[in-house]
Structures are given as structure tokens and as C-alpha cells.
């Protein structure tokens, strides 16, 4: 079975100069520095957009300005050596919720990377098929999916509730076989996940398939409850495993962390997610050493199968 690495902003934060989520949200608030300690990021973003001093008659134009501000704030995310170790894993797919290009910038230092990195998405807002295909001289190509958008295309940046819910609608359509898109002037209708299992017709046209067909290893990602699109996919997969596809869905999903609340761990386990709690080391550079340890654990799982 193929393997997929899912990562978030945790690895970016290994570089102290890279902006944190709290810093980013605080900056796009402008002068309206409201308290937000009980609000999920989706709601903080919606309040920022809705209370923004409007310069336009269309809220979408105001929102595009906010997303452009986010893109500018993330434009200087630095390269990171831990990304090189992540890339060295024998995984075929990499999924990230990051909008920036820290991962790509990092691996471009490798002499085996073959340019150009090809892009396959035609989406202007959503990121069901936002794929970059990375070829290299050492092994088969790797697929890189930015599922929450990218800073070069600010309209694709997914942070607000409105955008998340619109994305879930498209994910639902993809799973049920109602998802349509155009490629080279031809309209394509994707088969449902169930039909793809029946026909063995999985085609890697979306990252969504990977949650049913590959082993997922989540690292540097907190799985915050604001990530409602991914929680929806996990829940849908778990429900399908108790239905007609119970004998078909054989992949494993692994979540690696250094600590987790009991209730959240139990929720993961109810959704057939394997939780690995790895305590932080002592001494210096604890987070860099922690991520390297996690990567080595994942490497062992990838090579033993």
C-alpha cells in the first residue's frame, strides 16, 4: 500500500522567524485587536472579514484583500532542513494545509530535483485537485497537495467558515460521485469512492482518495477542531467502514503528537485513527530532535511493509 505524509505548520515553526498562526491572525485584525481565546480560527477570520472597514460594495473584494495580506505575511517562510528529511521518506504523496512554499523551497536545494515542478490544478478557489508533481532522479515522482490553497493565488487561501463549508460540499460530491470539472476542454465526472473500489478505478485525481487508499502519517499538525474538512473526511471514512465498504477500506491513519487530551484521543480512536503519543526529549533543540525522531519512526513503518 502507498504512503502519504500529512503535515501542517509545526515544521515551519521550527524556524523562530517564521510567523505563527496567532501572530498572523493578530496582524490581519488591523486596529481591531479583539479578544479571541475561545474562538476557533475559522470564526476569528470571519469576524475580521465581517468587521473590516469596507472599501468595496462586494464583501468578496474585501475578503480578497484580507487573503492578500495573509499571502504577503507568509511570503518569506524560510527553508527548513527537517523538510529534507521528510522528503527523504519513501512516501508517494505529501499533503499539507500550509499555504506557503517552505516545503518546496527546502527541497529545491536537493540536486536530484528535476525542474520544472509541474502543476495540475485548474481551480480558482477550492483545492480538491491542487497538485504539484515533483520529479527527481533518485526515485519515482512524488505528489504534493496543498489542500487549503496557496499564497500565489490568494483567493484559494482557506481559513474562514464560508470557505471551509464550501470545500466540504465539494468533498462530499467527490466521495458520492457527483464531482465534475473540466480538463483540456473536456468535462470529467468522477466515480464515487464506492464505485472506484468496485472497479479498482482510483486515479489520484484528488487528495481525498488518499484517505481511503493509502496509509496516512500526520506529523506537525495538531488536527485542531477548526479543520472541519479533515474531520469530516475522517468521520465519513469511519462511517463507510461500518457499512458496505467495511471489507474494502484497509488503509491505516496514524497521528503523531507529544501530548493529547483523553477526549480527543478517544474521538480519534472511534474514527479508526491510530494515535502515537511521543514525549518530547529533554535538553536543547527539543522540537527539532522530536520531529527527527518522529520521522525515523515513520521511516520504520514505511520500510517494514
- The mean pLDDT of 254-273, rounded to a whole number, is 98
**Cβ partners under 8 Å of residue 204, min gap 6:** 143, 210
Share above pLDDT 70 across residues of the chain, in percent, rounded to a whole number:
99
Share above pLDDT 90 across residues of the chain, in percent, rounded to a whole number:
84
Q: Does residue 305 surpass a pLDDT of 80?
A: no
pLDDT tens digits for 84-133? Answer: 999 999 999 999 999 999 999 999 999 999 999 999 888 999 999 999 99
pLDDT tens digits for 150-191? Answer: 999 999 999 999 999 999 999 999 999 999 998 888 899 999
Residue 171 has a pLDDT of 98
> Rounded CA gap, 217 and 4, in Å?
6
Residue 220 has a pLDDT of 95
Could you list the beta-strand ranges (E) of the chain.
2-7, 93-96, 113-119, 131-136, 142-146, 180-183, 186-189, 214-219, 253-257, 273-277
Q: Does residue 251 surpass a pLDDT of 90?
A: yes
The overall average pLDDT reported for the chain is 94
**Closest Cα to residue 106, out of 136, 131, 74, 78?**
78
The cell for 248 is 474494502
82 pLDDT tier (thresholds 50, 70, 90): very high
Q: What three-state secondary structure class fits 115? A: strand
> Rounded CA gap, 72 and 179, in Å?
32
Amino acid at each position: 500500500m502507498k504512503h502519504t505524509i500529512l503535515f501542517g505548520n509545526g515544521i515551519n515553526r521550527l524556524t523562530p522567524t517564521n510567523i505563527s498562526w496567532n501572530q498572523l491572525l493578530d496582524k490581519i485584525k488591523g486596529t481591531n485587536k479583539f479578544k479571541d481565546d475561545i474562538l476557533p480560527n475559522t470564526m476569528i477570520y470571519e469576524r475580521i472579514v465581517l468587521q473590516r472597514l469596507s472599501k468595496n460594495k462586494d464583501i468578496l473584494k474585501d475578503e480578497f484583500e484580507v487573503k492578500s495580506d495573509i499571502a504577503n505575511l507568509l511570503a518569506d517562510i524560510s527553508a527548513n532542513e527537517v523538510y529534507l528529511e521528510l522528503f527523504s521518506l519513501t512516501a508517494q504523496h505529501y499533503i499539507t494545509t500550509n499555504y506557503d512554499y517552505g516545503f518546496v523551497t527546502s527541497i529545491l536545494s536537493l540536486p536530484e530535483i528535476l525542474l520544472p515542478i509541474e502543476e495540475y490544478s485548474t481551480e480558482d478557489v477550492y483545492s480538491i485537485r491542487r497538485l504539484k508533481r515533483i520529479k527527481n532522479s533518485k526515485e519515482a515522482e512524488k505528489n504534493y497537495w496543498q489542500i487549503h490553497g496557496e499564497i500565489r493565488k490568494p483567493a484559494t487561501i482557506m481559513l474562514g467558515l464560508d470557505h471551509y463549508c464550501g470545500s466540504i460540499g465539494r468533498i462530499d460530491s467527490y466521495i458520492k460521485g457527483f464531482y465534475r470539472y473540466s480538463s483540456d476542454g473536456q468535462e470529467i465526472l468522477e466515480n464515487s469512492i464506492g464505485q472506484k473500489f468496485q472497479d479498482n478505478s482510483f486515479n489520484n485525481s484528488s487528495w481525498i482518495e488518499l484517505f481511503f487508499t493509502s496509509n496516512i502519517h500526520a506529523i506537525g499538525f495538531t488536527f485542531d477542531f477548526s479543520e472541519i474538512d479533515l474531520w469530516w473526511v475522517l468521520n465519513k471514512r469511519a462511517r463507510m467502514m461500518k457499512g458496505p465498504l467495511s471489507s474494502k477500506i484497509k488503509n491505516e491513519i496514524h497521528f503523531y503528537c507529544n501530548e493529547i487530551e483523553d477526549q480527543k484521543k478517544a474521538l480519534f480512536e472511534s474514527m479508526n485513527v491510530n494515535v502515537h503519543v511521543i514525549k518530547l526529549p529533554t535538553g536543547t533543540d527539543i522540537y527539532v530532535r522530536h520531529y527527527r525522531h518522529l520521522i525515523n519512526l515513520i521511516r520504520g513503518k514505511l520500510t517494514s511493509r
